[in-house]
Amino acid sequence: MEHEHPVLDLSVDAAELTARLVDFASVSGEEKPLADAIERALRDLPHLRVDRDGNAMVARTDLGRAERVVLAGHIDTVPIADNVPSRMTETADGEKLLWGCGSSDMKSGVAVQLRIAATVPEPNRDLTFVFYDNEEVAAELNGLRRLAERHRDWLAGDFAVLLEGTEGQVEGGCQGTLRVRVETTGRRAHSARSWLGDNAIHHAAPILDRLSRYESRSVAIDGLTYREGLNAVRIEGGHAGNVIPDACAVTVNFRFAPDRSEEEALAHVREVFDGYDVVLTDSSPGALPGLEHPAAAAFVAAVGAEVGPKYGWTDVARFSALGVPAVNYGPGDPKLAHTREEHVSVSAVLRAEERLRAWLTA
């Protein structure tokens, strides 16, 4: 008989709830048991309207408030590495640590969402809670992307918080990222008669020279400084140890500030490599932090945390594409994500719940 997980009890504190979420194995593609439990728990809350698409749930208040805030988090994890079920330890100085797959990335953030959903029935802003699947795998499977395509109205809001782990810091927006192949061509020949050929790998030297001399731009947006980066991340070429190669490609990654669109970023890269064939292979937009929005300013004041830019790409970009400014804020430590030793500080989880509650009830 298939084991049935217990119903989620949202009356326990966020740290204990994190442990119970960790005990629901929910590797990407296998989220259904946890999604079912979250849906049941949300439908028991009379102040929320709950909708579901696949293994993604959206729950909303409808109190007629002047602003709507979205709290979002993914419920899937990377594959388990002998780190389920959860366990608790205590350090020599009395700090309690909760260990287990997803504890940092990002079931602690999801636990905070669920606690707010259960215990703040009349928030000062209308709330939308988004719990989605398949964040840790290919972008085309991402549950938030699916919701944006099928049910854009479900994600409407004035401001969003993605509860990915930030160690309790507020990280505004995110960088955009794109990858291109900068290609060279030549003519094959036997290496014993190299003068009969034209070495495509040698033609890549000016590409690397341009990268080594490239000066990255820094730009201030809403008081945050985003530093861009243009770097070679792979080089391909050659056929055999005795053949002059007729093709070579350098893969270049451009991490760009969110004041550039994807089109502007690609145009810049093409300008840097003028004269070469530049083939776009992957692109994702950045996200503006939107910290000047009143809801964002109130959030930063309430959580009392340091504010910095997000170096890297997160799903806040999906909200930005919908016209919803967003930040990253969560109790997990991103350096521990996807590791066998993944854990989260109990005090960090409780503090995140307390700060969000203060923001939404002030």
Active site residues: 76, 135
Contact call for residues 225 and 309 (beta carbons, < 8 A) = yes
Provide the token pair at 4: 């049935």
Provide the token pair at 60: 């909303």
Strands 326-328 and 159-162: parallel
Sheet of strand 176-185: strand arrangement: 229-237, 247-256, 176-185, 277-284
Enumerate the H helices of 166-312 as residue ranges.
205-213, 262-272, 294-303
Using a 10 angstrom Cβ sphere, with 0-12 exposed, 13-18 middle and 19 or more buried, the burial of residue 105 is buried
d(CA 198, CA 320): 47
Of 8, 357, 314, 341, whose CA–CA distance to 165 is shortest? 314
CB atoms within 10 A of CB 145: 17
